[in-house]
Amino acid sequence: MNQKPTASHIRSDARKEINALALINQTKANEVLKQSGIAEIWKEAGCRVNLVGSLRMGLLASHRDIDLHVYSSGITAESSFAIAAKIAKNPKVTEIRCINGLHTDEHCIAWHVFYKCDDGEIWQFDIIHIEEGTEYDGYFEKMADRIVEVMTPDQRDIILRLKFETPEGKDYHGVEYYEAVIADSVTDMSGFENWVSTHRKKSPYYWIP
């Protein structure tokens, strides 16, 4: 069995700084989510709206992104686009991108909404509109809650530090940080990069601890 990372991997002053920076960004993310009204637009359209991803888990670091999964029955491209059109009316929404996966096993449409705050920062909303009752209904909520359940405070600090240390332009998935640290006891950026290189050679899969 792999030994779990311990607090000795991060100095106490660094831990405080990491957590302070993460808290600032997470607080701002919640403010942006509320001010944007984006979740409310989906709710008004009759959708069930759940926060997922790093913000749900308290693991949002430097990236300005908010993940929502929204659910309804009988999704069509037309019905989902109609909701997105209401979001687009907000002058702070600068761009919207769409990936139609309704005809795949994921039964969803992915929306990427770019929202410009008063301070000029751009936040990205990743919104997955999923058909109720299909395979991934609730899956990523379960993933997030399970990660929070098993993650130790030391593992949380290591995950946040790795996220802050990630070089600009590197495209790592959140779940890669979580699995590498929680399942395989990775503690530094070199080890994480090696871990990602190895695991991306495998067939794609979703991970729940």
Does residue 209 sit within a domain? no
HSE-CB of 139 using CA atoms within 13 angstroms: 14
Q: Which domain holds residue 111?
A: 9-199
> Mind giving me the DSSP string for 84-110?
HHHHHTSTTEEEEEEEEETTSTT-EEE
CB 49 within 8 A of CB 61: no
Does residue 86 sit within a domain? yes
Using the predicted structure, report yes or no on whether residue 168 has a pLDDT greater than 90: no
pLDDT tens track for 120-146: 999 999 999 999 999 999 999 999 999
Over residues 103-114, the mean pLDDT reads 97
Does residue 65 sit within a domain? yes
Does residue 25 sit within a domain? yes
Using the predicted structure, report yes or no on whether residue 7 has a pLDDT greater than 80: no
Does residue 206 sit within a domain? no
Alpha-carbon distance 192 to 189, whole Å? 5
pLDDT tens track for 68-108: 999 999 999 999 999 999 999 999 999 999 999 999 999 99
Does residue 156 sit within a domain? yes
Indicate the pLDDT class of residue 188, thresholds 50, 70 and 90.
Answer: very high
Which pTM was predicted? 0.89
Domain containing 28 — which CATH number?
3.30.460.10
Phi, psi of 37 (to 5 degrees): 70, 10
pLDDT tens track for 194-205: 999 999 998 888
Q: What is the pLDDT of residue 205?
A: 85
pLDDT tens track for 35-60: 999 999 999 999 999 999 999 999 99
Domain tally, the chain: 1
Phi, psi of 104 (to 5 degrees): -105, 180
Length of the chain: 209
Using the predicted structure, report yes or no on whether residue 165 has a pLDDT greater than 90: yes
Does residue 205 sit within a domain? no
Does residue 83 sit within a domain? yes
CB 98 within 8 A of CB 82: no
